[in-house]
Structure 1
Amino acid sequence: MNNGNRDVIGSITVMDLAAICELEGRELPYPFALTEHSAAIVQPESSVATTFLDRFNTGEFRTFGPWMSAYVDADIWVECRVHYGQEERPDARIMACRVGDTGFVATQRPEADVVDVYELSAYGLGPAIADLVELSNPGSRNRIAIPEYVGYFTGPATGLEDDYAMSVQIPVAVSAVRRVPSADVAALATVQSHCRPARAWGVDWDSKFLVWVRITGDGDYVYDADFNYAEPLSQVKLGGRIDGLIAEDVNRLRRRRGLG
């Protein structure tokens, strides 16, 4: 599988990234976050801020300039966050963006507040993200349903995003799926693509996204588009589903620009 053929750009601490974003009047890109591995950021004094910006413009941080510029001016953004509910491990946090034919993907290390940044083709984001999330194995059942999650994931709201269609939930026969209690969910992940700057830090619950879960003692499953059931998930399948989200946003972007 093509994992995106990533070229290493470098690594930057979340604290330094947050300071750069703060000086530029922006929030940290979602889903990156300061965790217990970092102390609270102190508002820099003007002299310190000037020195810090010098490090970004001409010093050791300048290698991240193309990535951060691409994030601000991107055509497409993709965010993935994996929450490990039953395991004592930090969330997996991945952010990707593309502008023109150039793409970037960045991932926050689970054991330290450090972000590793890579450059790749704009057309390799889906496989790259699927590679970085470190799936376990496809689940053993054809389809599963988690009763406690019924209605938990809502479709796009009408009137808020005219490009998106309302997601209609279609009941699935009970006999067609295996019921799994939410207590067996070891991990839950969201992946979202969008072609407009984020309204706020976090998932835009009014827009389209995909969800996959890891079932204890079984494996990984991805929900269908209407969140009726989940099917076994492989790395190849996840990359394809993410590419599908991106393709929808590319089409929206082309229509918005009058290109089709």
Structure 2
Amino acid sequence: MIHYKSKEEIELIRQSALIVSKTLALMAEHIRPGITPLELDKIAEEYIRDSGAVPGFLGLYDYPNTIITSVNEQVVHGIPTNRPLQEGDIVGMDIGALKNGYYGDHAYTFAVGEVSDDIKQLLKVTKESLYLGIAQTVAGNRMGDIGYAIQNYTESFGYGVVRELVGHGLGKKMHESPEVPNYGKRGHGSKIKEGLVIAIEPMINMGTRRVIQLSDGWTIVTADKMPSAHFEHNVAVVDGKPEILSTFKYVEEALEKVNGLVI
């Protein structure tokens, strides 16, 4: 059952989403060759708690950490480790925050130092596909319109669109109905209505769309070990149109300040 949100609820979700946005910006300031995901995890948890929220992922389904760090061929659900990030890595960072009873949850994939042109394109196309999906989030459209926009664009570059993992509704629970696939047919799926709040999150692989879960029970990797990118926004339908509750503004300002590079 889909829980449509009031404008007051949407504002509460926005508050939590913006805490995540600013936490991701803090990550952008610290990501560099040599730092470990566990060090980033500690920084993120402290910031979220200092912001009057609690980490949205810590303890959720028994997840052991505050942030999710998926490196290179890891698609999503990577658990932070003591392995230092290396020049040329990419790391998909997914973060959640809970404040005033409502969740924020979004993600950004960072380049660590200088990466190859092929990886730069993967990151750019995946981020662009997110906004194409958001543009379809209007009252009267259907969930398949979002998925089609993402799939059609990314597959035109020869990329694989993950099927096993999807976006989701967002509110008092981290994961609510409806599911938001990154593939689909126009005009199919549940109808988009006023007050819908969803997390749209393309997970796009450079090679095959097939994925495998590792023995830790969390980490999802590409079957061919090629890189994967993940970007995510929280989106509400307000006055019939999509309104992005999260933002990459702070992340991009931080990246510009640190290295003058925004992909």
Indicate the TM-score class for this superposition, using the shorter chain for normalisation. under 0.3
Q: TM-score, normalised by structure 2?
A: 0.27
Largest Rg, 1 or 2: 1
Q: TM-score, normalised by structure 1?
A: 0.27
